[in-house]
């Protein structure tokens, strides 16, 4: 891995997660804060409410259910320097083209589950950073993920959608990813999605650009999409763990798959984002040990 990353400009994109819900959420701000802090105490981090931006429920919290608001108050908290907003909505979030664009490859019947949601929670960052610093971007994404898991514990969520990657996963799979994140392992199956055809001649990731300033492209005429995805997810996991990009012209290999030549494509003005391009160069029997798959 190279120590110096190419100086690609970031665009300050916000990290956003949506929890599709079966019914309206009703948890108070203090309960969400307590849940977040119970998740992150082992990492030495503390979350705090931002009172001036949080709308608290009025009256007795033990009031009968029909006296409670139809949606939760807006809750804003800070976590590891990131300001996070949690806002409830009494309507579905995904329909039409937005629903069709979801990547639910790891969630059988996921698109149908999301379509049946009756409400949703939107978890987003306020005062987003510039997008120029990988460590800052990682902290931003991590804060949104942890808060999403805390909110999922307190609501009737069916799953979570990570907007930069368009990835939709079942709510029962979010908990282990959030726990691993607090322990230092990036939730690649949530933060990373892919687009490509059956032959994977040009399989490109989605979701890395806001983190790294580049996506990963796998160029091959022979690899199946599932194999190309495994290669891309493996490299992404390695980059997110080390914070370093592979050197240009390096030759890398993963497990039983081909060797790949590393190249870089900058923004050439055609609307495509910069990319780390892995081009298949040879198929060998002895390759480097595999990194984690998606």
Backbone angles phi, psi at 240, to 5 degrees: -65, -30
pLDDT tens for each residue of the chain, 294 residues long: 333 333 323 334 579 999 999 988 888 889 999 999 999 998 888 999 998 888 775 544 444 444 455 556 689 999 988 999 999 988 899 989 899 989 998 898 999 999 999 999 999 998 766 556 888 899 999 999 999 999 999 999 999 999 999 999 999 999 999 999 999 999 999 999 987 644 457 788 999 998 888 999 998 777 777 888 888 999 999 999 888 889 999 988 765 557 899 999 887 666 678 899 999 886 554 444 434 444
Q: Calculate the alpha carbon distances from 45 to 36, 52, 113, 139, 177 in Å.
A: 10, 22, 34, 12, 18
Distance CA 149, CA 130 (A): 25
- Helix, strand, coil share of the chain (percent; to 5): 30, 25, 45
Contact yes or no for 32/75 (Cβ under 8 A) = yes
The pTM (predicted TM-score) of the whole model is 0.84
Distance CA 174, CA 189 (A): 10
Sheet-wide strand order for 193-195: 193-195, 203-206, 215-219, 275-282, 259-265, 251-253
């Amino acid at each position: 891995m190279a120590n110096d990353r190419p100086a690609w400009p970031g665009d300050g994109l916000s990290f956003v997660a949506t929890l599709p819900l079966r019914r309206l959420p009703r948890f108070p701000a203090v309960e969400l804060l307590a849940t977040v802090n119970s998740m992150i105490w082992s990492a030495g981090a503390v979350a705090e409410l931002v009172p001036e931006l949080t709308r608290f429920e009025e009256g007795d919290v033990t009031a009968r259910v029909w006296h409670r608001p139809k949606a939760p108050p807006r809750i804003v908290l800070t976590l590891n320097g990131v300001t996070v907003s949690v806002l409830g909505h009494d309507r579905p979030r995904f329909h039409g083209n937005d629903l069709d664009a979801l990547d639910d490859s790891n969630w059988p019947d996921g698109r149908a589950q999301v379509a049946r949601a009756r409400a949703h929670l939107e978890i987003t960052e306020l005062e987003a950073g510039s997008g120029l610093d990988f460590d800052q971007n990682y902290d931003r994404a991590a804060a949104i993920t942890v808060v999403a898991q805390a909110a999922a514990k307190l609501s009737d969520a069916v799953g979570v959608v990570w907007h930069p990657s368009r990835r939709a996963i079942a709510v029962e799979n979010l908990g282990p990813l959030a726990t691993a994140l607090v322990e230092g392992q990036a939730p690649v199956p949530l933060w990373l999605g892919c687009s490509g055809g059956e032959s994977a001649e040009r399989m490109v990731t989605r979701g890395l650009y806001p983190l790294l300033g580049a996506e990963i492209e796998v160029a091959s005429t022979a690899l199946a999409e599932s194999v190309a995805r495994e290669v891309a997810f493996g490299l992404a996991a390695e980059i997110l763990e080390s914070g370093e990009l592979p050197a240009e012209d390096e030759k890398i290999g993963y497990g039983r798959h081909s060797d790949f030549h590393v190249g870089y494509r900058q923004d050439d003005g055609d609307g495509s984002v910069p990319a780390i391009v892995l081009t298949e160069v040879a198929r060998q029997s002895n390759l480097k040990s595999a990194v984690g798959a998606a």
